[in-house]
């Protein structure tokens, strides 16, 4: 235990510093993304989320927070994680290929005025790129939560789309920041729609 304490303390300090240093870069796009999602909900739009691997879990996290409520009791908000239905994913991948699994779902379910939130902490999957293409065809608002590394999904963001950059020296630091960003995004949307509730 004594031998491990310095290592654990260093990792905790790195996480704290990463969060503290990210505020200035993340705050403006978080406010913008929350405004876009709020406006979509007010106009009966929906939030679709997607990601691969651990990012799929984050996509489910934000969708469940929006749907079930987060920091306050309030009506459910229309959000769907495209990777949550394993049966449909398997069928789509078998018939159309892995790159099309999110794109096909968006073609069937999404409309102009809806939001697509793409989450990517590492390398860019072809299915995310195809999802972005279909979202643009559908005139959806696009929000990308991505690592800030070269070659990341951040490089694929076009003018008029919202990028939430999560800088980190390791995958763990990026993921920690992404979780925080998603929780802050959900809190901002709740504040916009239901008032300034501060929790217990």
- pLDDT score at 150: 60
Residue 44 main-chain phi, psi, to 5 deg: 65, 25
- pLDDT score at 197: 56
Q: Is residue 87 part of a domain?
A: yes
Structural domain range at position 46: 5-194
Asked whether residue 1 carries a pLDDT value surpassing 80, the answer given is no
- pLDDT score at 96: 84
Q: Is residue 119 part of a domain?
A: yes
Kindly report, residue by residue over 129-176, the tens digit of the pLDDT: 999 999 999 999 999 999 877 667 888 999 999 999 998 888 888 999
Number of structural domains found in the chain: 1
Q: Is residue 108 part of a domain?
A: yes
Kindly report, residue by residue over 2-38, the tens digit of the pLDDT: 688 898 999 899 888 888 888 899 999 999 999 999 9
Q: Is residue 200 part of a domain?
A: no
- Domain with residue 97: its CATH number is 3.40.50.10490
Kindly report, residue by residue over 53-101, the tens digit of the pLDDT: 999 999 999 999 999 988 888 999 999 999 888 888 888 888 888 889 9
Q: Is residue 199 part of a domain?
A: no
Q: Is residue 169 part of a domain?
A: yes
Q: Is residue 94 part of a domain?
A: yes
Q: Is residue 109 part of a domain?
A: yes
DSSP the chain: -TTTHHHHHHHHHHHHHHHHHHHHHHHHHHHHHHHHHHHHHHTT--EEEE-STHHHHHHHHHHHHHHH-SSS------EEETTS-HHHHHHHHHHH-GGGHHHHHHHHH--TT-EEEEEESSSPPHHHHHHHHHHHHTT-EEEEEEE-STTSGGGGPPTTSEEEEE--SSHHHHHHHHHHHHHHHHHHHHHHHH------
């Amino acid at each position: 235990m004594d031998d491990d304490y310095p290592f654990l303390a260093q990792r905790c300090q790195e996480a704290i510093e990463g969060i503290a240093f990210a505020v200035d870069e993340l705050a403006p796009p978080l406010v913008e993304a929350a405004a876009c999602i709020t406006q979509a909900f007010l106009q009966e739009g929906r939030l679709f989320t997607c990601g691969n691997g651990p990012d799929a879990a984050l996509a489910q996290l934000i969708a469940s927070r929006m749907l079930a409520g987060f920091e306050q009791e309030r009506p459910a908000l229309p959000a769907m994680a495209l990777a949550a239905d394993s049966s449909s994913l398997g069928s789509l991948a078998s018939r159309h290929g892995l790159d099309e699994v999110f794109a096909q779902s968006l073609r069937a379910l999404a409309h102009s005025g809806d939001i697509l939130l793409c989450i990517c902490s590492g390398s860019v999957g072809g299915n995310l790129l195809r999802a972005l293409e279909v979202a643009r065809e559908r005139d959806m608002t696009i929000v990308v939560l991505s690592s800030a590394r070269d070659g990341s999904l951040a490089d694929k963001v076009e003018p008029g789309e919202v990028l939430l950059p999560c800088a980190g020296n390791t995958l763990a630091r990026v993921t920690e920041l992404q979780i925080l960003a998603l929780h802050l995004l959900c809190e901002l949307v709740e504040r916009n729609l239901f008032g300034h509730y501060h929790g217990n």
